[in-house]
Amino acid sequence: MSQAFLPFSRPTIDEETIAAVGEVLRSGWITSGPKVQAFEKLLSDYLSGRIVRTFNSGTCTMEIALRIAGIGPGDEVITTPISWVATANVILEVGATPVFADIDPVTRNIDLDKVEAAITPATRAIIPVYLSGLPVDMDRLYSIAAKHNLRVVEDAAQALGSTWKGKRIGSFGDFASFSFQANKNITTAEGGCLVVNNADEARLAEKYRLQGVTRSGFDGLEVDVLGGKFNMTDVAAVIGLCQMQHIDAVTEKRRALAKRYFAAFGKGFEQEFGAQLPVADFENSNWHMFQIVLPDRMPRAVFMEKMQAQNIGIGYHYPAIHLLKLYRERGFKEGMYPVAERVGRQIVTLPMFSAMVENDVDRAVDAVKSVLK
Ligand SMILES: *Cc1c(COP(=O)(O)O)cnc(C)c1O
């Protein structure tokens, strides 16, 4: 008998959240208001008191961080080719030049040696990505940034709840951007937040998220920077407030599921099937995703189709950004970042969400093994 479809990701929304959203909807104030302020305060408390501002995505957060840093035309920003395309798009959005550095085949994160090699006199910032919630070597990242006087915009979209040497990602460092998109460990349906360094940056973040407007008194409205429309609603913020009650449990549950994946695959899996498991990190990663890299003999589309036929949903995060048309038109081509190209071709995301049970993991692993045989 075939079992129910197991998606690769699914948000967990409890009845308390649904009731809280209803309350906001009935309250007469549904856009940015008291819930947004409370959510920002809660996130700030969670991140050791650093200043946090919320937005309507984890994409505009990074664009705004680049604007606050004064990065624009003529400036180079180094990032990874293996991320959601948003990470590179924001560099183009502010008129700066994206520079890619290849990834480490083991962590699948940006290779910090390659970052150093890519630095030129025009380099102004680095955007590292913590793929599936696994951070890069944060000590090394910030020592490179300090040595070359670069800003860091951490694309921590997937890394809320991840840590480095016992400190939460976002609780130290320069800018950190998180996403609350539906598939992320903590969601507001859509949304994001940016951790900034001081009150001046926070004021600028507020301006950029709402048309550049500053107000003082009843008729003192002024606009002195070109902002957009990026504010979070109270409807979204109240979802986030409820979700944050569970963040520690969610992280623990995901780590337990990841452990179960390793146990179910078993020690000989990589040797026998030629596939590559993720780094077995149960200390730093929040296990936003559990990703494996398929052997070259197995085309990803065939794998995904066969898994689908066994009622297992498989995700694909991510194709190498530099090979997308928009980037090829800017001179990037096949062969430039060979590690990213292979990973971008062969990586797949197995089911991972906090409502999963161990039997779901076993089902997914059995299916992977039968398809790879
Ligand atoms: C989700 C995600 C983003 C974008 O976040 P949105 O909230 O969807 O705009 C950016 N980078 C990475 C690595 C992500 O996973």
pLDDT tens, position by position, 253-273: 999 999 999 999 999 999 999
How many angstroms separate the alpha carbon of residue 183 from the centre of ligand 1? 10
Residues forming the active site: 184
User: What per-residue confidence (pLDDT) applies to 51?
Assistant: 98
- Determine whether the shortest distance from the Cβ of 187 to ligand 1 is under 6 A: no
Question: What's residue 1's pLDDT?
Answer: 46
pLDDT at 79: 98
For residue 76, the model assigns a pLDDT of 98
Query: Rounded distance, CA 178 to CA 53, Å?
Result: 10
| Domain segments of the chain as ranges | 15-244, 247-372
State which amino acid sits at residue 256. Answer: A
Q: Which H or E run contains 269?
A: helix 269-273
Res 125: pLDDT: 98
CATH level 2 (architecture), domain 247-372: Alpha-Beta Complex (3.90)
Residue 95: its pLDDT value, please? 98
**Distance from residue 28's CA to the centre of ligand 1 (Å):** 31
pLDDT of residue 2: 65
Quote the pLDDT of residue 354. 95
Q: Is 227 in the pocket of ligand 1 (CB under 6 A)?
A: no
CA of 158 relative to ligand 1 center, distance in Å: 7
Does the reported pTM lie above 0.85?
yes
- The class level of CATH for 15-244 reads alpha beta
Which residue owns the Cα nearest ligand 1 atom 14?
157
- Show the beta-strand stretches assigned E in the chain: 51-55, 76-79, 97-100, 123-127, 151-155, 163-164, 167-168, 175-179, 192-196, 213-216, 220-223, 290-293, 347-350
pLDDT means over runs of 10, the chain (373 residues): 87 97 97 98 98 98 98 98 98 98 98 98 98 98 98 98 98 98 97 98 97 86 95 98 98 98 97 98 98 98 98 97 98 98 98 97 98 96
